Structure 1
Amino acid sequence: MRPDAVTIWSDPEVRRRLSWYLSVMNEKRPPKYIIAKHVDAPGFDSPEELEEADERSLWRSHDTGAAEFRRLWSEVREGSASLKRAERPRVSLLHVKAELARRLASPCRLCERRCMIERLKGKIGACRVDGKAYVHSAFLHLGEEAPLVPSGTIFYGGCNFTCVYCQNYDVSQTSPRSGIPVDARMLAKIQEELARRGARNINHVGGDPTPSMHVIIESLLYLEENIPQLWNSNMYLTTEAMKILVDVIDIWLPDFKYGNNRCALRLSAVPRYFETVTRNLRIAAENGDMIIRHLVLPSHLECCTIPVLEWIARNLPKDKVIVNVMDQYRPEHLVARYPQRWREIARRPTWEELKAAHDKARKLGLFTKV
């Protein structure tokens, strides 16, 4: 255990900003996915009926159940409701979410690219994977932010970005399907083992977890551990995918990479970046605790770092969000092989750039102690 993973919780501001996550981690409250298992899915008498239902009926049941979830979650947070003796419905909100996530995966509408590929039929989507979830590794990660360590981290193959500087390019781009294909029951077992070994959370990452979201959601049907679910993502999801996630994710760990669409398209080949990610950050901030990561790119202080920090300060509740201004950038993948193509990022950020980024965050009043 890293010493700061213990001492960080002596900071009352960290405890306040991550209060829901802390209460689940300490098993004083159930994780959101367990709450979703206690919410009835109106209109269905058995899980088998979900497969035959049309998507509109599924969404109608989902949205009604989600409204009930928000009421129940509020009571659980306040301590006025307990699930210890509560009966579970035969068809829960989580059942409906699992079926909707499966539908969104084929034709695929999980991420904002909306490639519409039939991934469940074995076709390869824009994320470079088919309908299987490929687990490349699962372990207790000691290198995450202090409140998260040790983090039960699961690396999934595939990503909807094509970052030229990606540090996990084998998992995300070059060999995403070389991991072990797992079904929902196997994935639940992996999470159980991580929890048994002392993980503070289940950290879904990659690549990016979005292409594997349908398997992740279904796995929660077979999981009963009182452990927070963490979404570690580039946040390039559709609104439909976000609607499914918000009632099962306890803490968000989003990457906020770029301050404009031009840099996102050039360095990650992703269109409509800024409007998509900021939309989803707003949604996430209303539904669980959040630590936002921003990686400082060399030569991108004015176009990316400053606009990102200013947007967070203007648009998200500063008294709830924690920001991690990261200095770990190094030239990797294509930038390392062809530095002349991306000269401005073919180096580490300077001390002056990193200091300017941290100074800006402090000037904006952002809480960055993680």
Structure 2
Amino acid sequence: MSLPKFLSTYREIAYNKQTAAFKVAQNIPLKFDHKMSINSLWDIHDKGIEEYKKITNDSAARMGYLKKNRVSNSLLKLKLLISQKLLQNCCFCDRKCGVDRTSNEVGYCGVGEISKYATEFIHMGEEPELVPSHTVFFTGCTFSCIYCQNCSISTSPQSGIEIDPYNLAKIVEDRRKKESLNINFVTPIPHLHTILDIVNNIDTNIPIIWNSNMYHSIETSKLLEGVVDLYLGDFKYGNDECAKKLSNANEYMNTVTRNFHKAYSTSEILIRHLLLPNHIECCTYPLVVWIAENIPKIRFNLMFQYYPHYKAYEDPKIYRCLTKEEMQKASLFVKEKETLDIV
């Protein structure tokens, strides 16, 4: 595996040569309080983002925030407050269930107000530029992939360890001092409010990775700007029909392409695509073409780890392993796209 060509800011943050996005957001002072309406808070947020952009567009100015102490009412604190208000009419993912998770209601993901994680550890099996990666696997999911290889976690949203954001933030700091290059939040969408709380309590400089299916809402995209340094995004399908059949995801292409566009304009991206049996022409080809034409010069990982797990037997087309011919065919197609930096 080659080193990345296009993840320069992430690498600078990982080695403390630049300031993480959230550290800047921690130090942008804003005037707000919890009694304000959500619309008023969004207006203040948008003004804060303009200030954030001015700072981060100047490399030297951004570096000046590396060792600053956070302010009490910051852009990051405002993001946390907005997420907590959105939790009362949940719209974190693009299903927009509208449930009040603060009143023990749950939507599609099955996650309540209190977030849980299955495990957190130093992961050495990620892409080379990410390891050692401090990885937190949250429970629950916004998809229902019939071939899910983490089904014991994704289908058990009420299992796992309850998260105390402050305590987990201190664990992040400890692992960062010892060895981790980043904090890697896996299946994060239902846990946006908790993640913002964790990040708000982190004092050390560390890249924030959003390891996601990218099926989040516009509101979530806005809250992630100024927090996430690297989107580690799954691009699973090249059309809506396959997404609906295999993951029960509606309007898949519109949602994920919108979010990849936004991520491309505000952060850096590493896209993963898990090759599926019999889905090269319908999924792999069109999504690779879309990436090359719309968000070129990104890191791309074509993955061959698929095996027929969980409920894959429900679809005979994917109820087998990949063939060597399929892997070669997909690899050749991806390599033809010279604007992609292939892992």
Give the TM-score range, shorter chain.
over 0.9
- In 2, Cα distance between equivalents of 1:179 and 1:287: 32
CA-CA distance at 1:363 after TM superposition: 1.2
| 2:38 aligned partner, one-letter code | E
Choose the corresponding residue for 1:258, options 237, 248, 252. 237
- In 2, Cα distance between equivalents of 1:353 and 1:306: 12
Choose the corresponding residue for 2:274, options 271, 291, 295. 295
Name structure 1 gaps, 5 residues minimum.
none
Choose the corresponding residue for 1:163, options 140, 145, 150. 145
Matched, 1:195 2:176: yes
Which stretch has the larger CA shift, 188-197 or 159-168? Answer: 188-197
Choose the corresponding residue for 1:63, options 42, 46, 49. 46
**Retained in 2: the 8 A contact 1:231–1:251?**
yes
Deviations 1:311-343 (A, max 9, x none): 001111x23x011011011011111xxx2x310
CA-CA distance at 1:86 after TM superposition: 5.2
Choose the corresponding residue for 1:345, options 294, 315, 318. 318
Matched, 1:96 2:73: no
| 1:246 aligned partner, one-letter code | E
Aligned length: 343
Structure 1 counterpart of 2:262: 283
Matched, 1:153 2:135: yes
Structure 2 counterpart of 1:136: 118
Alignment of 1:1-370 (within 5 A): 8-9=2-3, 14=4, 16-41=5-30, 43-44=31-32, 49=33, 51-75=34-58, 77-78=59-60, 82-83=64-65, 88-173=70-155, 175-205=156-186, 208-316=187-295, 318-319=296-297, 321-335=298-312, 339=313, 341-370=314-343
- In 1, Cα distance between equivalents of 2:243 and 2:145: 9
Q: How has the CA–CA distance of structure 1 residues 314 and 192 changed in structure 2, closer, same or farther, with 3 Å as cutoff?
A: same
Secondary structure at 1:106's aligned position in 2? helix
| 1:362 aligned partner, one-letter code | K
**Retained in 2: the 8 A contact 1:323–1:368?**
yes
The two structures have a TM-score, normalised by structure 1, of: 0.89
Secondary structure at 2:17's aligned position in 1? coil
CA-CA distance at 1:135 after TM superposition: 1.1
- In 1, Cα distance between equivalents of 2:94 and 2:157: 20
| 1:111 aligned partner, one-letter code | C
CA-CA distance at 1:89 after TM superposition: 3.7
Q: How has the CA–CA distance of structure 1 residues 154 and 116 changed in structure 2, closer, same or farther, with 3 Å as cutoff?
A: same
- In 1, Cα distance between equivalents of 2:145 and 2:134: 25
| 2:203 aligned partner, one-letter code | E
| 1:150 aligned partner, one-letter code | P
- In 2, Cα distance between equivalents of 1:140 and 1:35: 26
Deviations 1:276-311 (A, max 9, x none): 000000110111221100110000011100011010
Q: How has the CA–CA distance of structure 1 residues 123 and 330 changed in structure 2, closer, same or farther, with 3 Å as cutoff?
A: same
**Retained in 2: the 8 A contact 1:298–1:344?**
yes
Q: CA RMSD in A?
A: 1.5
Deviations 1:86-127 (A, max 9, x none): 565431101100001112222110000000111122222211
**Retained in 2: the 8 A contact 1:170–1:176?**
no
**Retained in 1: the 8 A contact 2:231–2:270?**
yes
| Identity fraction in percent | 37
CA-CA distance at 1:172 after TM superposition: 0.5
- In 1, Cα distance between equivalents of 2:132 and 2:68: 31
The two structures have a TM-score, normalised by structure 2, of: 0.96
Which stretch has the larger CA shift, 349-358 or 233-242? Answer: 349-358
**Retained in 2: the 8 A contact 1:296–1:326?**
yes
Which stretch has the larger CA shift, 151-160 or 178-187? Answer: 178-187
Q: How has the CA–CA distance of structure 1 residues 360 and 134 changed in structure 2, closer, same or farther, with 3 Å as cutoff?
A: same
Secondary structure at 2:89's aligned position in 1? coil
- In 2, Cα distance between equivalents of 1:312 and 1:91: 38
| 1:64 aligned partner, one-letter code | K
Name structure 2 gaps, 5 residues minimum.
none
Deviations 1:193-213 (A, max 9, x none): 3313311110000xx210011
**Retained in 1: the 8 A contact 2:66–2:205?**
no
Q: How has the CA–CA distance of structure 1 residues 288 and 84 changed in structure 2, closer, same or farther, with 3 Å as cutoff?
A: closer
Q: How has the CA–CA distance of structure 1 residues 39 and 328 changed in structure 2, closer, same or farther, with 3 Å as cutoff?
A: same
CA-CA distance at 1:176 after TM superposition: 2.2
